Chains A and B, each alone.
Chain A
Amino acid sequence: MSARVKDPYQRVSQALNRTLLHLILVGGAVTMVMPFVWMLSSSLKTNLEVFHIPPTFIPTVPQWHNYVDIFKVVPYGRWFLNSVIIAVTQTVLYLFVASLAGFTFARMRFPGREAIFTLYLATLMVPGQVTLIPKFLLMKQLHLINTYAAVILPGIFNAYGVFLLRQFLMTLPDSLEEAAILDGASYFRIYWNIILPLAGPALATLGLFGFMGAWNDFLWPLIVINSDHMKPLSVGLASFHGLYETNWPYLMAASTVALVPIILIFTAAQKYFVQGIALTGLKEG
């Protein structure tokens, strides 16, 4: 476009336009990043400096020990470990269950296929909050309150993953299985050795969102976990806030540590995140 513009007046007005757009974008970026900067800065201050007016953005003496202290005053390490165990287990099982069901719906023929799949879709119309109380009562009945299983189980069977993977697997050509069937491969081997490797990008996207959802989830673990040492980070942070309400350096250090894993994963796998929401409107949970 710009190559065709010869008129100097137009060139100047284009440059002005571009500057204006960049100004809006920079303004937006500052707004987006400032809370994170403030969080980091506060996390390195003393409990005195944090209340200083006007605020100091760079702490006079960075209090790195805040990041050590939070592991001592509350079982922060344990909460972190709980979050890792919950998020990893849930993601792996979710991917397995969803991909096997998605494979069956997409690549196999059996009576009742459409009816069962419609049932899956129907469950997606009911928001998770509606079944919160019955699920809690179920976990109580099964004596699973205060266990990882209570946090992990319901998320594994979310119909959304089945739906998404079915849609993806249906786009693969039929010829894929034919050779395998000729070789006498079992259906499970077709799923495991042929279809699953081809579903890589879809699995990666779903897995990332699943992990993020599990890591960030708050309401469900808040309900099924009360004992301090079983809490995931999200719930632990809330109780930390209850205990140290005005100790902002500690709270901000704890928040920073809770955000780091997701931010790292996001930067490493940004492609799949953007692909995921752009294609499917996928959101955590």
Chain B
Amino acid sequence: MGKGLSTLRRSSLWQKLKWPTLGKGTERSQALWAYTFLSLSVLGLFIFTILPIIAAFGLSFVNWTLLSPPKWAGLSNFQRLLNDKYFWNALKNTFYYVIGVMPGIAISLLLAVILNQKLRFTTLYRTLYYLPTITMWTAIALVWRWLYSPQYGLVNWALGLIGIHGPAWLSDPHWAMPAQIFTSWWKGAGYNMVILLAGLQGIPQIYYEAASIDGANWWQRFRHVTLPLLTPTIYFVVVMTFIGSFGVFAQIYIMTEGGPGQATTTIIYYLYNNAFKYFEIGYADVLAIAFFVIVFTFTVIQTQLQKRWVHYT
């Protein structure tokens, strides 16, 4: 009892009640504790994120090979970027890849719509579709490199069964990128499917009932109920897929090493080579800035465009 009373006396609530002037003190003590708790996180964020962001902008103005001290380069790295045909090629390849990955969202949507029906084994299907999503890119890229093997791979063997003579895939400059894109469809389908499925389950059943009473068939229900109400989720999936695929690296590194020739060299792969193979720190950093500017611009454009096609209820 006595202990309880003294605890009560010491508590901030009691002090607030009894001595209003001390309220300031407890507020101050709360603030001090808050700063103490945050200090580790803020320090880490500053050292490993904020400082590097600032440095990323600064480094784009220097020439540095890590062997000699950095030299001021002004805007020469940016000039070099604009005249670098390998950069433009990498940019073209990255857009090719990103645009190619987008239709995969339609596959995810189809699967999500089917799994949203009252069918048997939906949990099993969901698990199987989701499996590629959780796996390590390095291992998966090795598996696909083997699947795409021109003579001994499973893909060309399967095509051969239906009378198609498959191309050399990863070693053919025209087919290497489509092969990369298909692998990304395979790996990403389950992730987008689960998000879209959650979106579908959020659509109130009453809309479908109303549409059915009005005599709408399944396509009309999909077109005029499901699709409009799902646009916020689709928008989210499109933006996330865009940002994610623009930074594609691991699968390129393992499956095609940017080749054949430069056919699958994407921005981040080109950045990696410049920074960690040629040690052109300044120039590689300009590529990072370009990457940021492009991703940022497209995200802004997409947030503007969404006003025209995304319906919020």
| A and B interact physically | yes
A residues apposed to B, CB below 8 Å:
1, 18, 21-22, 24-25, 28-29, 31-36, 38-39, 42, 50-51, 53-55, 97-98, 100-101, 103-104, 108-111, 113, 116, 119-120, 123, 125-127, 129-138, 153-154, 156-157, 159, 162, 178, 181-184, 186-188, 191, 212, 215-216, 218-219, 222-223, 233-235, 237-238, 241, 248, 251-252, 254-256, 258-259, 262-263, 266-267, 270, 273-274, 277-279, 281, 283-284
Q: Does B38 sit within 8 A of A, measured CB to CB?
A: yes
Complex CA gap A39/B143 in Å reads 6
A129 touches B247 (CB 8 A): yes
Q: Which 9 A-B residue pairs are closest in the complex by CB-CB distance?
A: A157-B44, A278-B198, A131-B52, A134-B52, A255-B139, A134-B55, A110-B31, A101-B41, A110-B34
B288 touches A130 (CB 8 A): yes
User: Contact partner of A216 among B135, B198, B281, CB < 8 A?
Assistant: B135
Complex CA gap A219/B154 in Å reads 28
Chain A residues positioned under 8 Å from B22 (CB to CB): none
Q: What size tier do the contact residues of chain B reach?
A: 35 or more
Q: Does B306 sit within 8 A of A, measured CB to CB?
A: no
B residues apposed to A, CB below 8 Å:
7-8, 10-14, 27, 30-31, 33-35, 37-38, 40-42, 44-45, 47-53, 55-56, 59, 110-111, 114-115, 117-119, 121, 125-132, 134-140, 142-144, 146-147, 151-152, 154, 157, 186, 189-191, 194-195, 197-198, 236, 240, 243-244, 247, 249-250, 253-254, 268, 271-272, 275-276, 281, 284-285, 288-289, 291-292, 295-296
Q: Given A100-B41, A109-B30, is A123 in contact with B49 using a C-beta cutoff of 8 Å?
A: yes
Complex CA gap A51/B40 in Å reads 55
B271 touches A132 (CB 8 A): yes
Q: Given A38-B147, A135-B52, is A218 in contact with B138 using a C-beta cutoff of 8 Å?
A: yes
B130 touches A273 (CB 8 A): yes
A278 touches B139 (CB 8 A): no
Chain B residues positioned under 8 Å from A222 (CB to CB): 253
Chain B residues positioned under 8 Å from A215 (CB to CB): 136
27 A-B residue pairs with Cβ-Cβ distance under 8 Å, sorted by A, are: A24-B114, A29-B125, A32-B128, A35-B132, A54-B157, A97-B40, A100-B37, A110-B34, A111-B31, A120-B45, A127-B247, A129-B268, A133-B281, A133-B285, A137-B55, A154-B48, A182-B8, A183-B7, A187-B30, A218-B249, A234-B138, A252-B143, A259-B135, A266-B130, A274-B126, A274-B130, A277-B191
Chain B residues positioned under 8 Å from A181 (CB to CB): 11-13
A130 touches B11 (CB 8 A): no
The chain A residue sitting closest to B128, CB to CB, is A29
A157 touches B45 (CB 8 A): yes
B53 touches A283 (CB 8 A): no
The main secondary structure of chain B at its interface with chain A is helix
Q: Given A156-B44, A157-B41, A278-B195, is A130 in contact with B53 using a C-beta cutoff of 8 Å?
A: yes
B288 touches A133 (CB 8 A): yes
Complex CA gap A130/B7 in Å reads 52
Complex CA gap A281/B191 in Å reads 9
A266 touches B134 (CB 8 A): yes
Chain B residues positioned under 8 Å from A259 (CB to CB): 135-136, 139-140
B281 touches A137 (CB 8 A): yes
B157 touches A53 (CB 8 A): yes
A283 touches B191 (CB 8 A): yes
User: Contact partner of B139 among A103, A137, A258, CB < 8 A?
Assistant: A258
Complex CA gap A248/B8 in Å reads 70
User: Contact partner of B135 among A50, A135, A235, A263, CB < 8 A?
Assistant: A263
Chain A residues positioned under 8 Å from B37 (CB to CB): 100-101, 103-104, 108, 187-188, 191
User: Contact partner of B134 among A55, A103, A273, A278, CB < 8 A?
Assistant: A273
Chain A residues positioned under 8 Å from B253 (CB to CB): 218, 222, 238
User: Contact partner of B292 among A116, A126, A162, CB < 8 A?
Assistant: A126
Q: Given A97-B40, A103-B37, A136-B275, is A131 in contact with B53 using a C-beta cutoff of 8 Å?
A: yes
Complex CA gap A123/B254 in Å reads 30
The chain B residue sitting closest to A125, CB to CB, is B296
User: Contact partner of A277 among B38, B128, B195, B285, CB < 8 A?
Assistant: B195
B291 touches A129 (CB 8 A): yes
Chain A residues positioned under 8 Å from B240 (CB to CB): 281, 283
B143 touches A255 (CB 8 A): yes
User: Contact partner of A25 among B42, B114, B268, CB < 8 A?
Assistant: B114
A28 touches B143 (CB 8 A): no
From residue A66, how far is it (CB to closest CB) to chain B in Å?
Answer: 14
From residue B207, how far is it (CB to closest CB) to chain A in Å?
Answer: 16
User: Contact partner of A130 among B110, B137, B152, B292, CB < 8 A?
Assistant: B292
From residue B87, how far is it (CB to closest CB) to chain A in Å?
Answer: 15
